[in-house]
């Protein structure tokens, strides 16, 4: 399907369906066993005797992948040995969580991971504690943070993003001859990372967050009106008490005044540009457009916004959606977006699409000349960010999964209500937006492909007419 700018038009369409108050899907024991097996296989392929997996509140995804929890306001380590034994190294206020972890473990106490001025009554040094966790001389260790350092080329294997006091303690515990390497790729390498491909249970687990974010975004879009404050709109993006995995955005007019990142007391004015973002485990939704009812309300210098920004951007997103499929190389998708939305003109900078999981950005197989293949089970965020000087942005970031027939059949059988939502989303995208998705593309967000450029007109959206 070739999408041209002439084939795009602003038309009256119904809004997409949303689902409020869906139950969460818990990761089952088989999934946790499968996760551990994938990580142990990755360790074996690299000849590692143990992994030392770091976590804090912002960087707990790899730790949580195996344990089921993050250490909240403390730091933590998971030492996973090649034979499968797991040791949790926890601060004062996370010791109690070891009994609830999703893998069998023993726990050792590291008060250095606790908050300032809490009791430091452990008589051992941190290297001694790590010795008791099995970090000893004569073994090969992989350190797992959250970065791949791909730009570092050949030096990436010896760069670590764990706090220096922990790395130094590991070196002391393992001895001067210790072989340490960056092993984060075992979890998040676009080519072979354990976390980059999901089973049916994991996709169902993450669909909850994608639905939650996209439902909240549509509720917020429908509430935007002159005179309301950013906080009033932002309140609609905080859904069901779930933790956001990005900074929420509800910003009218110019952003970042006084270095502020959060919804504030600024009142919405007609003609403002407006940005919205919210994200939960499994999916982010984002929108950017103008607070107007039609183009006649735009300032004269941006009166051509629809043709200069919105339509070219929508063409790129629709092209992304109609071409993405398992087996496509990341470099092919990058080249395709460069063809339909040239970077030199539209000034997008980041990867046009990336993987999501517990984090909003896990990693990305999509990049210049990337040979990483897109695979069934991947969960991807549409993330193309155009920038034209003087104009508001355009954004319809949402989440889709890739699934071959076997995975689709498993989802339909194991999670029929989820499967019905997927089919309803696909029907809406085809019948009302004119975008034909490949069979392997499963929209997990309710608002995939839905671009409303005039926020005060809830009846019209861009569609493909050919």
Please check whether residue 63 is in contact with residue 103, taking contact to mean a CB–CB distance below 8 angstroms: no
117-162 per-position pLDDT tens digit: 899 887 889 999 999 999 999 899 999 999 998 875 667 778 999 9
Which residues neighbour 455 within 8 Å (Cβ) at sequence distance 6 or greater?
221, 224, 274, 289, 290, 291, 292
Please check whether residue 97 is in contact with residue 69, taking contact to mean a CB–CB distance below 8 angstroms: yes
Poorest-confidence range of 14-18, 54-58, 173-177? 173-177
**Cα 421 off chain centre by:** 21
Token representation of residue 268? 């919405």
- Distance (Å, whole) CA 223 – CA 114: 42
* β partners of residue 441: 402
Q: What residue spans define the domains of the chain?
A: 5-22+197-464, 47-182
Residues 74-99, mean pLDDT to the nearest whole number: 97
Which residues neighbour 152 within 8 Å (Cβ) at sequence distance 6 or greater?
159
Can you give the pLDDT at residue 152? 58
Can you give the pLDDT at residue 156? 72
- Distance (Å, whole) CA 332 – CA 334: 5
Alpha helix (H) residue ranges in 133-175: 164-174
Residue 321's pLDDT band, with cuts at 50, 70 and 90, is very high
Assign domain 5-22+197-464 to its CATH architecture.
Answer: Alpha-Beta Complex (3.90)
Can you give the pLDDT at residue 151? 72
Can you give the pLDDT at residue 113? 95
Residues 239-260, mean pLDDT to the nearest whole number: 92
> What Rg, from alpha-carbon coordinates, does the chain have?
23
Residue 387's pLDDT band, with cuts at 50, 70 and 90, is very high
- Distance (Å, whole) CA 2 – CA 328: 17
46-86 per-position pLDDT tens digit: 999 999 999 999 999 999 999 999 999 999 999 999 999 99
- Distance (Å, whole) CA 284 – CA 261: 17
Degrees to nearest 5, angle at CA 425 with 422 and 431: 135
Can you give the pLDDT at residue 154? 67
- The SS3 assignment for 402 reads strand
- Is 345's pLDDT higher than 90? yes
Token representation of residue 454? 């005039």
- Distance (Å, whole) CA 117 – CA 418: 47
Closest CA to 462 of 3, 2, 10, 6: 10
- Is 247's pLDDT higher than 90? yes
According to CATH, the superfamily of the domain at 47-182 is Creatinase/prolidase N-terminal domain (3.40.350.10)
Mean pLDDT of the chain: 95
Query: Same topology for domains 5-22+197-464 and 47-182, yes or no?
Result: no
Residue 327's pLDDT band, with cuts at 50, 70 and 90, is very high
Can you give the pLDDT at residue 178? 84
Poorest-confidence range of 25-29, 149-153, 250-254, 415-419? 149-153
Strands 76-81 vs 273-280: parallel, antiparallel or unpaired: unpaired
- Is 228's pLDDT higher than 80? yes
Closest CA to 316 of 334, 295, 294, 297: 334
Can you give the pLDDT at residue 269? 97
């Amino acid at each position: 399907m070739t999408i041209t700018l002439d084939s795009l038009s602003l038309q009256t369409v119904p809004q997409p369906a949303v689902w409020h108050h869906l139950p969460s899907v818990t990761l089952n024991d088989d999934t946790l066993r499968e996760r551990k097996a994938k990580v142990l296989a990755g360790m074996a392929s690299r000849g590692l005797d143990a992994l030392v997996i770091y976590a804090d509140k912002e960087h707990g995804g790899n730790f949580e992948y195996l344990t089921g929890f993050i250490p909240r306001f403390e730091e933590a380590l998971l030492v996973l040995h090649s034979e499968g034994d797991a040791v949790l190294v926890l601060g004062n206020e996370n010791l109690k969580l070891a009994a609830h972890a999703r893998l069998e473990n023993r726990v050792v106490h590291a008060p250095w991971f606790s908050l300032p001025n809490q009791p430091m009554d452990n008589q051992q040094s941190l290297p001694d504690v790590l010795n008791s966790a099995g970090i000893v001389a004569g073994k090969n260790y992989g350190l797992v943070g959250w970065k791949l350092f791909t730009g570092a080329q050949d030096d990436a294997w010896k760069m670590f993003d764990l706090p220096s006091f922990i790395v130094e303690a590991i070196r002391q515990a393992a001895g001067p001859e210790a072989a340490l390497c960056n092993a984060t790729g075992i979890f998040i390498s676009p080519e072979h990372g354990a976390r980059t491909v999901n089973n049916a249970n994991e996709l169902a687990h993450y669909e909850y967050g994608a639905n939650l974010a996209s439902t909240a975004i549509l509720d917020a879009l429908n509430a935007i009106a002159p005179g309301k404050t950013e906080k009033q709109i932002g309140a609609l993006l905080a859904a069901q008490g779930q933790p956001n995995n990005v900074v929420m955005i509800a910003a009218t007019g110019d952003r970042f005044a006084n270095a502020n990142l959060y919804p504030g007391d600024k009142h919405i004015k007609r003609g403002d540009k407006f940005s919205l973002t919210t994200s939960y485990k499994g999916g982010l939704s984002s929108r950017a457009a103008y607070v107007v009812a039609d183009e006649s309300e735009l300032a004269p210098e941006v009166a051509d916004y629809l043709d200069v920004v919105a339509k070219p951007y929508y063409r790129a997103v629709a092209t992304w959606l109609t071409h993405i499929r398992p087996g496509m190389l990341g470099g092919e998708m990058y080249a395709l977006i460069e063809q339909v939305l040239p970077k030199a003109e539209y000034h997008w900078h980041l990867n046009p699409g990336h993987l999501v999981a517990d984090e909003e950005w896990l990693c990305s197989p999509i990049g210049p000349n990337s040979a990483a293949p897109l695979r069934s089970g991947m969960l991807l965020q549409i993330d193309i960010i155009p920038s034209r000087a003087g104009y508001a942005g355009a954004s319809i970031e949402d989440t889709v999964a890739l699934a071959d027939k076997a995975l689709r059949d498993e989802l339909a059988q194991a999670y029929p209500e989820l499967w019905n939502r997927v089919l309803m989303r696909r029907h809406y995208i085809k019948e009302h937006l004119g975008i034909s998705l490949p069979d392997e593309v499963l929209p997990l967000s309710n608002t995939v492909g839905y671009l409303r450029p005039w926020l005060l007109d809830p009846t019209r959206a861009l569609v493909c007419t050919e």
